Structure 1
Amino acid sequence: MAEYTLIVMSDSHGDRQVVENIKHYYLGKVDAIFHNGDSELESKDPIWNGISVVCGNCDYDSGYEESRVTHFSNLTIVQTHGHLYHINFMWDRLDLFAQEAGADICLYGHLHRASAWQEGKIVFINPGSVLQPRGEVSEKLYAKVTVTDDKIVVDFYRLNHTLFEGLSKEFSR
């Protein structure tokens, strides 16, 4: 039985220190760390060593990829910022992108709203924003995702690494 732990953050908008703090806290303790774009940092910044990062609509460095696919033995994760899929208006394009990649999990950002939901077999996760949260939850958050053979658990954490109660979700695989 395989188990994976993932850390997912997004929309740090120039705050290198918040990315560094999360990276330092988890690097070597989890299977992967993701940043879903709008870092506003250089793509060659050493901060990205050990972090899977994609381009957001506020990232003007051409060194970033628009999307990434990460494979584990029994898990496929797709990652994008979301703006290129027009997620402010519809989910169809993001869903199709995830389906075409055979994803189990689709990570996205852009909306600055922490959420997790499932469509078919795919779990969609927006970790919120570590700098500028929007919507009904005004906490700066990131997500910790635990994946087993039969479930995906998504928990949201504050920047001091304490669980934010009430947003946790569990999905069947």
Structure 2
Amino acid sequence: MAERTIVIMSDSHGDRQIVQDIKERYLGQVDAILHNGDSELPVDDPIWNGIAVVGGNCDFGDFPENRVLDIGDITLAQTHGHLYGINYGFERLDFWAQEVGADICTYGHLHRAATWQLGKTIFINPGSVSQPRGEINERLYAKVRVTDDTIYVDYLTRNHQPFLAISQEIKR
């Protein structure tokens, strides 16, 4: 398998410039760019050309609630998370990820960067690029690199600098 790279952002809450900055930096350089909802931008904004976007609880318009993307040999499930009740637990999100055969399931909503594994699925929340919550008070997005045997999840700041404290390496 060829190495795959995916950039994931979420919860930009009206900050169109950071979405544009990330898009300009990576479009044509990575296999996919994702926005996991709560952009608060219009569904027909041209910024979405080249970005797989889902709707969040603060979005209006006809955004998809979730997506399943095949990127090479990777099945990626994308959602905001609010419709799966992730404020109260991850059982419903995990069930959906299993149902669609996801290797990676990415979500937002909580504004907290996190990477964890349950069964065969790696769950990734890129954090919020504009309004972080919790113990990590850094505005972040994620860059995921997938090789034959490892998934590397790197978190980056709005200035595209590595935030190494929570970056992870997970064996496939």
> With structure 1 as the length reference, what TM-score do the two structures score?
0.98
| 1:51 corresponds to | 51
Distance in structure 2 (CA, Å) of the matches to 1:101 and 1:138: 33
Query: Runs of 4 or more off by more than 4 Å in structure 1?
Result: none
How far the C-alpha of 1:165 sits from its partner, in A, is 1.7
User: Which secondary structure does the structure 2 equivalent of 1:128 belong to?
Assistant: coil
Distance in structure 2 (CA, Å) of the matches to 1:140 and 1:73: 29
How far the C-alpha of 1:160 sits from its partner, in A, is 0.6
Alignment of 1:1-173 (within 5 A): 1-61=1-61, 63-173=62-172
Distance in structure 1 (CA, Å) of the matches to 2:167 and 2:72: 25
How far the C-alpha of 1:37 sits from its partner, in A, is 0.1
Distance in structure 2 (CA, Å) of the matches to 1:56 and 1:76: 21
Q: Deviations over 1:85-128 (max 9, x none)?
A: 00000110000010000000001000000010000110000000
Q: Deviations over 1:20-60 (max 9, x none)?
A: 00000111111100000000001110000000000100002
Distance in structure 2 (CA, Å) of the matches to 1:9 and 1:104: 18
Q: Which residues of structure 1 form unaligned runs of 5+?
A: none
Aligned residues: 172
Distance in structure 1 (CA, Å) of the matches to 2:104 and 2:152: 11
Distance in structure 1 (CA, Å) of the matches to 2:135 and 2:119: 26
Counterpart of 1:135, as a letter, is G
Distance in structure 2 (CA, Å) of the matches to 1:88 and 1:131: 19
> With structure 2 as the length reference, what TM-score do the two structures score?
0.98
Counterpart of 1:27, as a letter, is L
- Give the fraction of aligned pairs with identical amino acids, expressed as a percent: 63
Q: Is residue 5–residue 30 contact of structure 2 (8 Å, CA) maintained in 1?
A: yes
User: Which secondary structure does the structure 2 equivalent of 1:166 belong to?
Assistant: helix
Distance in structure 2 (CA, Å) of the matches to 1:100 and 1:12: 29
How far the C-alpha of 1:73 sits from its partner, in A, is 2.9
Q: Which residues of structure 2 form unaligned runs of 5+?
A: none
